[in-house]
């Protein structure tokens, strides 16, 4: 029996994880669940999965959850705040932690799970983008097992030989081919992107996801963050990672070898496949995802990404090459800009401009400690807010 903590249980990944777990009550039990605000949903999850502990974002949310659970006769212990998140991620009775909080808020508990030597199922790519080497060192030192949930990285993990993890140079890997759907605006006239609404940006053609990652997919910053994620997970330099647009999202990524072989992982676009893969690894379990029928898919297409249409992708490659805290600055500026876009305070095409302005203004430093990374994160957020405040009002009005 594997005992699991799910950080971000009410999100898109959290709900898919509970869906897989519910199919295998003989294999998995839930130790703890967390959510930021959605207390009603969390209460319903507690009623179904009976975790020992549940963590929310504020004292008010904790009171509300405790009252709901009392009324349901559920004896889950309720806590709140970052220290409680770290505690449920590192508790001795936990075997595996699903890290599915969105954004930098997930760094501390995800790192706590890694430091405690857990099996870490990593969906929260921002945590790894920010902390990079520090995170990988924590995994190494504690003997934690790090399994990627991001569909691309899970596919790459499946296509790499196990020997690669010990001696990357000897495995004959020449390139990691990271596939990207291209998002909802792949073919739309670039000028028309000034006027797109948050709902249009969140309407992903292939995947149903949280709003932040959906906007990231529309700008292709998601792919940029994934390039950095692949760098850390697989020890691949920037010039060995190639982004390939593949609108059908049937191939989830590929690995090419020096003998000319290219290995791919294929499947229907449903996150329950990588979640089930990581939960059961190295075994396999049913996930609830329908088998892929290639005759129904018919055609698979591929093209090169257009860096002029998607400046965020170029900014992410730049940050990876710059190293140090540059990816943390990029991530923080992006989080602020995406939230401003979702709140209709800036236009879609201003997202990349805000990030570029922050990257221009702030010098990056050495990522010598988590404290240094968090300090740069805070600086970048303040800088992004300043940049947003100085944007021309006409452009802001045009976005609303
Ligand atoms: P989501 O917005 O649907 O859910 C986010 C979860 O995090 C919720 O449970 C929310 O309560 C919690 N949360 C939000 N802010 C928080 C805070 N400040 N403190 C603590 N908890 C907080 O997001 P999602 O789509 O499930 O994505 C989660 C993570 O997984 C992201 O890092 C995303 O990049 C990654 N990911 C998602 C998908 C997908 O298909 N949704 C695919 C690959 C990777
Ligand atoms: Mg992905």
pLDDT digits (tens, 9 = 90+) for 230-248: 999 999 999 999 999 999 9
The band of 394, judged by pLDDT with boundaries at 50, 70 and 90, is: very low
pLDDT digits (tens, 9 = 90+) for 345-368: 999 999 999 999 999 999 999 999
User: Per residue in 83-119, pLDDT tens?
Assistant: 999 999 999 999 999 999 999 999 999 999 999 999 9
Which residues face 264 on adjacent strands?
254
Q: Which of 16, 62, 102 to mutate to test the pocket of ligand 1 (most atoms within 8 A of CB)?
A: 102
223 labelled binding-site residue? yes
Bridge-based pairing state of the strands 77-80 and 96-99: unpaired
The span from the CA of 45 to the CA of 59, in Å, is 19
Could you say which ligand is closest to the alpha carbon of residue 8?
1
Tell me, yes or no, whether 301 lies in a domain.
Answer: no
Q: For residue 307, is it within any domain?
A: no
Look up the ipTM and state it.
0.99
Q: What 8-state DSSP symbol labels residue 26? A: T
Q: Do 7 and 127 have their domain in common?
A: yes
Does some domain include residue 197? yes
CATH number of the domain to which 372 belongs: 1.10.1740.10
Distance CA(111)–CA(117), nearest Å, equals 10
From the CA of 223, the nearest ligand is: 2
Q: Is 81 in the pocket of ligand 1 (CB under 6 A)?
A: no
Residues 98 and 203 in one domain: no
Contact 114, 7 (CB under 8 A): no
Q: Which of 89, 107, 210 to mutate to test the pocket of ligand 1 (most atoms within 8 A of CB)?
A: 210
- Nearest ligand 1 atom to alpha carbon 207: 40
d(CA 112, CA 106): 10
Q: What is the mean pLDDT of residues 188-207?
A: 92
Do 137 and 174 belong to one domain?
no
Please report the atom of ligand 1 found closest to the CA of residue 12: 26
234 and 332 inside one domain: no
C-alpha 175 – ligand 2 centre gap (Å): 18
Ligand 2 mean position, distance from CA 244 (Å)? 13
> Radius of gyration (Cα) for the chain, nearest Å?
21
Mean pLDDT of 290-313: 97
Q: Are 274 and 150 in contact (CB under 8 A)?
A: yes
| Contact residues for 138 (Cβ-Cβ < 8 A; gap 6+) | 111, 114, 115, 144
Residue 253's alpha-carbon distances to 29, 156, 314, in angstroms, are: 31, 6, 19
> Does one domain contain both 235 and 343?
no
Q: Is residue 274 part of a domain?
A: no
Nearest Cα residue to atom 23 of ligand 1:
210
CA distance 283 to 324: 37
Same domain, residue pair 144 and 202: no
pLDDT for residue 393: 65
Asked if pLDDT for residue 400 goes beyond 70, the answer is no
Mean per-residue pLDDT for 291-312? 97
Token pair 């999850």 is at which residue?
45
- Give 199-205 contacts, CB < 8 A, sequence gap 24+: 201/341, 201/348, 205/181, 205/247
21 and 115 share a domain?
yes
Q: Which ligand is nearest to the CA of 153?
A: 2
Q: Which domain holds residue 43?
A: 2-148
- On whether the pTM is more than 0.90, the answer is yes
Q: Does the beta carbon of 148 sit less than 6 angstroms from any atom of ligand 1? A: no
Query: What tokens were used for 322?
Result: 């710059």
Mean pLDDT check: name the lowest of 30-39, 99-108, 158-167, 294-303: 158-167
Average pLDDT over residues 173-180: 97
C-beta of 221 in contact with ligand 1 (< 6 A):
no
User: What does the alpha-carbon distance between residue 304 and residue 100 come to, in Å, rounded to a whole number?
Assistant: 30
Between the CA of 150 and the centroid of ligand 1 the distance, in Å, is: 12
Q: For residue 132, is it left (φ>0), alpha (ψ between -120 and 50) or beta? A: left
| Nearest residue to 213 (alpha-carbon basis) of 331, 356, 353, 303 | 331
Nearest to 19 by CA among 89, 98, 73: 98
Structurally, the chain folds into a number of domains equal to 3
């Amino acid at each position: 029996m594997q005992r699991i903590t799910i950080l971000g249980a009410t999100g898109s990944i959290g709900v898919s994880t509970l869906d897989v777990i519910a199919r295998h009550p003989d294999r998995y039990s839930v130790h703890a669940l967390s959510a930021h605000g959605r207390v009603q949903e969390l209460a319903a999850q507690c009623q179904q999965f009976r975790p020992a502990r549940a963590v929310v974002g504020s004292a008010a949310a904790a009171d509300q959850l405790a009252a709901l659970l009392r009324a349901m006769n559920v004896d889950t212990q309720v806590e709140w705040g970052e220290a409680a998140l770290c505690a449920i991620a590192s508790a001795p009775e936990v075997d595996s932690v699903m890290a599915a909080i969105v954004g930098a808020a997930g760094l501390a508990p995800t790192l706590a799970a890694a430091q405690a030597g857990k099996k870490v199922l990593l969906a929260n790519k921002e945590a790894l983008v920010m902390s990079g080497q520090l995170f990988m060192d924590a995994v190494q030192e504690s003997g934690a097992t790090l399994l990627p949930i991001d569909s691309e990285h899970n596919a790459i993990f499946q296509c790499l030989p196990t020997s690669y993890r010990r001696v990357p140079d000897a495995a004959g890997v020449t390139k990691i081919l990271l596939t990207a759907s291209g998002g909802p605006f792949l073919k739309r006239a670039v000028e028309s992107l000034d006027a797109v609404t948050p709902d249009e940006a969140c309407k992903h053609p292939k995947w149903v996801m949280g709003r932040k990652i959906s906007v990231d997919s529309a700008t292709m910053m998601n792919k940029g963050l994934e390039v950095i994620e692949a760098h850390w997970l697989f020890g691949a330099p920037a010039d060995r990672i190639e982004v390939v647009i593949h609108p059908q999202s049937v191939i989830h990524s590929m690995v090419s070898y020096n003998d000319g072989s290219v290995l791919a992982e294929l499947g229907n676009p449903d996150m329950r496949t990588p979640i089930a893969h990581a939960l059961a690894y190295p075994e396999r379990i049913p996930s609830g995802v329908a088998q892929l029928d290639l005759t129904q898919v018919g055609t698979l297409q591929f093209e090169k990404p257009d860096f002029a249409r998607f400046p965020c992708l170029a900014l992410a490659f730049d940050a990876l090459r710059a190293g140090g805290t540059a990816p943390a600055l990029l991530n923080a500026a992006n989080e602020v800009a995406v939230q401003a876009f979702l709140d209709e305070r800036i236009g879609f095409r201003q997202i990349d401009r805000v990030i570029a302005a922050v990257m221009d203004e702030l010098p990056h430093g050495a990522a010598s400690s988590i404290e240094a990374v968090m300090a740069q994160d805070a600086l970048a957020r303040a800088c992004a807010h300043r940049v947003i405040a100085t944007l021309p009002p006409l452009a802001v009005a045009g976005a609303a």
